[in-house]
Amino acid sequence: MADIKTLLKEAKKLIVENKFKEAQECCKNILRKDKQNYMGLVLLGKSLQDSDQAPLAYQKAISNKPDQPLAWQGLANYYEKNDDKLKLFSVYDEILKLQLEEDKTLEVIAKLGQLGCTLKNSESVRTFANYLNTNCNERLHLAAENQFINILKADVPCKEENISIILKVLDEIYKKDPNDELEILCGKVIIQQSDYISAFKEVINLKYFSSNVVLRELLCKHLCRIFVENKSFFGFDIDQYIDRITEGVENSNYPGLLRSMINFDKGYYLDAYKQCIPLINYNQADVTEATFIINCTIMLKKWSTTQKLVTNFLTKVKDQNFSVFLKKKLFLSLAKQKKWSHAISTAQQISLDSLDTDEKAILAECYIESDESPDQIINLLQSTDYFSRLKAQVFLRQGKYADAIILLEENPNNYLNLFYLGKTYWDLKQYDKCLMNLLKSAKLNSEHGETFLYLGHVYNYRNDLLKAKKCYEKAHSLVNTDSECIKHLSETYIKLNMKEENFKLLTTAEHNIKTNESWLNFRLGLHYLNIREWENAIVSFRNVIKSNKNDIIAFECLADAYYSRGSFTSALRAYNKVKTLDPSKTAHCLTRIGYIYTLLTQYEDAIDTFKKVLEINPYSLLSLKGIAETWIKIAKKKATAKLYGSARDCAQHAIEYVIRAIKQNQFLCLWKLLADTLMFITKLPSKYTYAYLKNTETNADSEKIEKNDILLKAIACYSHITKQKQQSASYDLASAYLAYYHETNKQADCKISFQLTLICIKENPTIWRNWNLLGKICLFIKKYDIAQHCFIKALSVTRKWSVAKIWSNLGTLYLKLKLHKLANYCFWRGQSTLPSHAQSWIGQGLIAEAIREEEAMDLFRHASRLGYHPESALGYADWVCRTLKKNKYKESPESRYEIDGLHAIPYAIDLVEWFSSFEPNDACACTILGILQERNGLLRAAYISYQKALNYAEEGKKNITLLNLGRILLRLGKYDEAIKTYKAITEASLDSTCGLALALFKKASYEESYSVYDTALHWLSNEDDEKADLLVAMASIMYMFKGLDDAKTIVFHSIQISQKKPTANSLFAICSLGLLHSDQSLTKLALHELQKYENQSDYGFDIGFLKSYLLVCENNIDQAIKLLSDSLHDHPSNALLWYFMSEYCLRASNTKAKAASNCAQKALCSARYSEQYCDPAKMIAMASIAEHIAGDHTKALLLAKEGLHIYPQQCEIWAALLFALLSHKMWINQKDWILGAANHMRRHLDITRPLSRWISLLEKKVGK
């Protein structure tokens, strides 16, 4: 024994010193002496370290003394080092049964707990459960409890035989410390029993089940997993307990999913699918959730959805087994969608051994349909029922129908065999046998979609559309993604005119079939075109074109959709594409393009396009109609622009093309277009109301027809339309007769229009325009009560309660009856409805005019801005003349703005000219036009207007016209004609007599002029101011042929007549006589009296000039400039004062040339807004000369050139230009041009003697 002890000590020492080989020899020596030596075996195990012999040594030691811990610990250490963890469970179990130190036991407990959680091994649960049933101290018991609970929390599975003891332990722990976690752990353990029903009931019957929400959710999750794995609840009456299970957790995922699975279990697959959709987490591949929703889609045969779901989950799956499952489902979904090649490529990712028999059969079918060899797969199925069918399918693909039939008839009770028999007979066109076999197949299996598809084909072939429809619908209900089935069902719907059903089918198919099916999009596009949903139609046709960029019909339909939507530019591109793809459609496309150009108002392009079509097909009705419509639109545009002659010509072209079209085919729309065009011509000014029509019966040349004949032709066209439509009357026909009545003034025509309108109302009493027309007719025949009823009825029958046109007509009726308040209300309603309706504003203008309100002018102007109307045109011009008649209108800022700021005179001229184009014989309009033209300085135009007025004026109004004509002749310098005109006036007046006297004076018939003035003084003048002015005129005549004294006598007599305040003209005459005869006392006396008129703008220039001229006569230029400056301060806008200031500046001793130029230019600016007679040419010449004297030769030349461009007939401008050119070196060599200009002035211009002398000097200087 001593030797063994020594050897043991030595072995321990060697192990400590890591001398393991020596230690092994030492231990072997010990065992030679004592084979069962426990410590020798333990030390041998330690010395062997990681050797395979080490555990044998430990196990031999344990067999000798199983109650000793050293061998167990050594064995445990060995397994821990070699990572042989599964064997550790039994070792730890045995160690815990031994009597160890507390710390060692705690270490083992901790290691066992960690190992159990890591490996999820049920042995760890059992070990702890057994240990906790032993008598151990509290510390060890508590540590074991914690590890036990942690292992259960880690979802470590429990074996069936251990569940009872585990539950017992849990129950003991729960009694000591009841909590939710332990309740959940109990539930987890219970549901691991193999008897699911008993387990479920046991969990549900737990006393704390109803209070623990997590436990109920856990049970839901477990039930879901069990159902997904087994597709069954194993007879568990889930409906009885579902409310208890889901109470309080209704909003959680798994309770909802469980209810969805209950629906699935009952066969309510669609409800189950809809219910589970929002509950699935698509961002992770949860086996239960993913498997269930995929099963739902499979049962519903939503193969495209199955494919989408599986593809999504495959990108997130981590479990390899589940990945294989998903790939199988992807393969199945692709095969069912007949995506054979994709299905094959997916199946190749799966091991062939992993596929079951059904899946192998499907794979073989994929190979067959892809024309690939399926022999390898078919051979594997040789012992199955699929073999003969698959071989038959191969024969079918190879066209070996007889062999296929033999194979299929071997098993005539199989629905698939019967189906393929039917399919074979279909290919062989043996339709009776085909139908018989298909019906048998359908009887055996009513869930096979292709059977019903081919049944539909057979019935469709037999033209039994109703049965075909039912079969296709059945096939579609079974496989809603089969495009062939959808296509045939759609065709059947179309044949049966079931548009709504067809649309519903196509829209559903669009969502179900994810691929771009051209035919589907095309049919949808056609449907959208028919129901006028242009946007959807465009999208559909564009999808078709994406698939086939050369689809002509799709492009044509797309163009039509664009056209209908109003996307004309896009439609143009589409039609051009069609024309390029198919030249045979050129005519059609060009016709449509022509219409597009018309709509885009590109009328020239439209006409050119239509002409190209007519070159291709001279009888194209659409092109003839299109070009005619284009010409009439151009005509209307021209008429709006007041180009009436051009408008008539365009309408003539329209008539010619319409007549050509009518010769081809007498469509009513062509007759309507012809009639409308003729009516358009009748609305033009009378000068242009004619047309050329060819007599088609005699083939004679075109003859010119006037307005009345045009109206008769239009009536004939409308009558033809009415007759063809088998109507008694029409609105257009009644309107045409009313228009004809306006021309003929025959009551018979008005009565015909009345009767026709009554018939229209009887036929269509709810059309407002019929009532409106009848009201207008009643106005003309003075049946005002009926007219009122008609207008009110028109308002009541229209949906737009406030139609502006009706309100305006009703207002006109009330205005005619002088019911101004009612009229004003009606016109106001018309304005509120349509502010751009001119007639409403005209009506209010007429009311304002009737009650003498100044707003009439504004109203007429606004109406004229909205559009031409004869009433507003003449009304506005009349009010402009009224305003101008007030000589002091400029003193009012408002009136001045209305006339000058708004350019009232030129605008009124335009309006009256437009009026005169329609009413050329209206003397009043001609007179107003003449007055406005005269006011605007257009004297020759005014003369022509007054002549027209004289020609058309009534006898009682001719004197006024002659007076206007005489005045304009005077201004034109035609004194002889003026004298004749004034003498033609039958009733003398002060104006006519003074006009005659002035004309005689201008003709230098002084004595006769004096005599006429004397007559006016004694017989026609009543007021003192008039008499005084007449005496001044007579004094001027007396001065001309008798001299100063007699003239002075008459002037003083004029002053005596108006003693209170002598007239300004009398004082001017006295002052002028004083200046002419150097009588300063007389001049100063007159100027002193004129101080009373200094502040009046009308006399500002005359007084200022006379005062300054008196100083000029005294050679006191500087004082004259100062005095004229004072006058300019009082009247800064007087152009003549500025002009004479520039003259004075040039005359000053120290020449103020720059100031003179500025004054001349200021005078020019003021002259533009002055009513005084000014000579702008002289002002420009003055400015140019002043700049030249000031030294700015360039500016002087520029001013002269500018003036010459504006006033080429003014000699002063030419003189200023020559004066400016002389200082430029460049003109030294241009002597010929200067001499030519001087010669031009002599020959063609009216030059004064001083200017003539200056030209002579210039010629001498240049000629040297």
Whole-angstrom Cα distance, residue 1107 to residue 1140?
A: 12
Whole-angstrom Cα distance, residue 101 to residue 516?
A: 78
Whole-angstrom Cα distance, residue 931 to residue 880?
A: 10
- What's the average model confidence in pLDDT over 272-278? 86
DSSP at 892: S
> 903: left (phi > 0), else alpha (psi -120 to 50), else beta?
left
The more confident residue out of 1227 and 1219 is 1219
The pLDDT value recorded for residue 698 is: 55
Cα 69 to the chain's mean position, in Å?
91
Out of 168-172, 1082-1086, 1202-1206, the most confident range is 1202-1206
pLDDT band at 696 (very low <50, low <70, confident <90, very high): low
- What's the average model confidence in pLDDT over 574-599? 91
The more confident residue out of 61 and 743 is 743
Asked if the model's pLDDT at residue 111 lies above 80, the reply is no
The pLDDT value recorded for residue 695 is: 67
Asked if the model's pLDDT at residue 527 lies above 80, the reply is yes
Asked if the model's pLDDT at residue 573 lies above 60, the reply is yes
The pLDDT value recorded for residue 822 is: 94
Whole-angstrom Cα distance, residue 51 to residue 198?
A: 50
Asked if the model's pLDDT at residue 555 lies above 50, the reply is yes
- What's the average model confidence in pLDDT over 682-708? 81
What is the pLDDT of the chain when averaged over all its residues?
A: 82
Do residues 259 and 278 lie in contact, with contact meaning Cβ atoms separated by under 8 Å? no
Out of 692-706, 981-995, 1137-1151, the most confident range is 981-995
The more confident residue out of 52 and 605 is 605
The pLDDT value recorded for residue 146 is: 75
The pLDDT value recorded for residue 1229 is: 67
The pLDDT value recorded for residue 1173 is: 62
Lowest model confidence (mean pLDDT) among 139-143, 180-184, 996-1000: 180-184
Q: What are phi and psi of 745, to 5 degrees?
A: 60, 30
Do residues 970 and 998 lie in contact, with contact meaning Cβ atoms separated by under 8 Å? yes
Do residues 444 and 415 lie in contact, with contact meaning Cβ atoms separated by under 8 Å? yes
The more confident residue out of 622 and 1043 is 622
3-state secondary structure 642-668: CCHHHHHHHHHHHHHHHHHHHHHCCCH
Residues 306-317 have pLDDT tens digits of 888 888 988 888
The pLDDT value recorded for residue 302 is: 83
Residue type, 942: A
The more confident residue out of 194 and 835 is 835
% of the chain surpassing 90 pLDDT: 20
The pLDDT value recorded for residue 1 is: 40
Four-way CATH pick for 728-796: 1.25.40.10, 2.60.120.650, 3.40.1110.10, 3.40.50.11540:
1.25.40.10
The pLDDT value recorded for residue 1157 is: 80
Asked if the model's pLDDT at residue 814 lies above 90, the reply is yes
Asked if the model's pLDDT at residue 649 lies above 90, the reply is yes
Asked if the model's pLDDT at residue 977 lies above 90, the reply is yes
> pTM for the whole thing?
0.67
Residues 845-861 have pLDDT tens digits of 999 988 877 788 889 99
Lowest model confidence (mean pLDDT) among 635-649, 658-672, 1216-1230: 1216-1230
Q: Which residue has the tokens 């209810």?
A: 259
Residues 457-466 have pLDDT tens digits of 999 999 999 9
* Residues β-bridged to residue 443: none
- What's the average model confidence in pLDDT over 443-455? 88
Cα four-point dihedral sign 1193, 1197, 1200, 1203: negative
- What's the average model confidence in pLDDT over 1134-1143? 77
Do residues 1240 and 1214 lie in contact, with contact meaning Cβ atoms separated by under 8 Å? yes
Lowest model confidence (mean pLDDT) among 454-458, 847-851, 1199-1203: 1199-1203
The pLDDT value recorded for residue 2 is: 44
The pLDDT value recorded for residue 59 is: 67
The pLDDT value recorded for residue 1217 is: 83
Whole-angstrom Cα distance, residue 182 to residue 146?
A: 11
Whole-angstrom Cα distance, residue 365 to residue 372?
A: 10
The pLDDT value recorded for residue 206 is: 73
- What's the average model confidence in pLDDT over 135-152? 73
Residues 895-923 have pLDDT tens digits of 778 888 888 899 999 999 988 888 888 89
pLDDT band at 635 (very low <50, low <70, confident <90, very high): very high
Contacts 24+ apart (CB under 8 A), 554-562: 554/518, 554/522, 554/525, 555/581, 556/585, 557/522, 557/525, 557/526, 557/529, 558/525, 559/589, 559/592, 560/529, 560/592, 561/525, 561/528, 561/529, 561/534, 561/537, 562/534, 562/538
The more confident residue out of 456 and 1209 is 456
The domain spans of the chain are 1-84, 85-175, 728-796, 1213-1263
Domains 1-84 and 728-796 are alike in CATH topology: yes
SS3 1135: helix
Whole-angstrom Cα distance, residue 680 to residue 689?
A: 9
pLDDT band at 515 (very low <50, low <70, confident <90, very high): low
Whole-angstrom Cα distance, residue 994 to residue 1031?
A: 12
Asked if the model's pLDDT at residue 551 lies above 70, the reply is yes
Four-way CATH pick for 1-84: 1.10.3720.10, 3.30.70.890, 1.25.40.10, 1.10.10.10:
1.25.40.10
Tell me how far apart the 2 most distant CA atoms of the chain are, in Å.
Answer: 190
- What's the average model confidence in pLDDT over 877-903? 81
pLDDT band at 157 (very low <50, low <70, confident <90, very high): confident
Lowest model confidence (mean pLDDT) among 180-184, 231-235, 975-979: 180-184
Asked if the model's pLDDT at residue 1077 lies above 80, the reply is no
The pLDDT value recorded for residue 436 is: 92
Whole-angstrom Cα distance, residue 359 to residue 1125?
A: 117
pLDDT band at 87 (very low <50, low <70, confident <90, very high): low
DSSP at 702: P
Whole-angstrom Cα distance, residue 362 to residue 350?
A: 14
Asked if the model's pLDDT at residue 13 lies above 90, the reply is no
Asked if the model's pLDDT at residue 191 lies above 70, the reply is no
Residues 781-795 have pLDDT tens digits of 999 999 999 999 999
The pLDDT value recorded for residue 604 is: 94
Do residues 253 and 266 lie in contact, with contact meaning Cβ atoms separated by under 8 Å? no
Residue 79: partners with Cβ closer than 8 Å, 6 or more residues away: 55, 85, 87, 88, 91
The pLDDT value recorded for residue 82 is: 65
Whole-angstrom Cα distance, residue 858 to residue 879?
A: 9
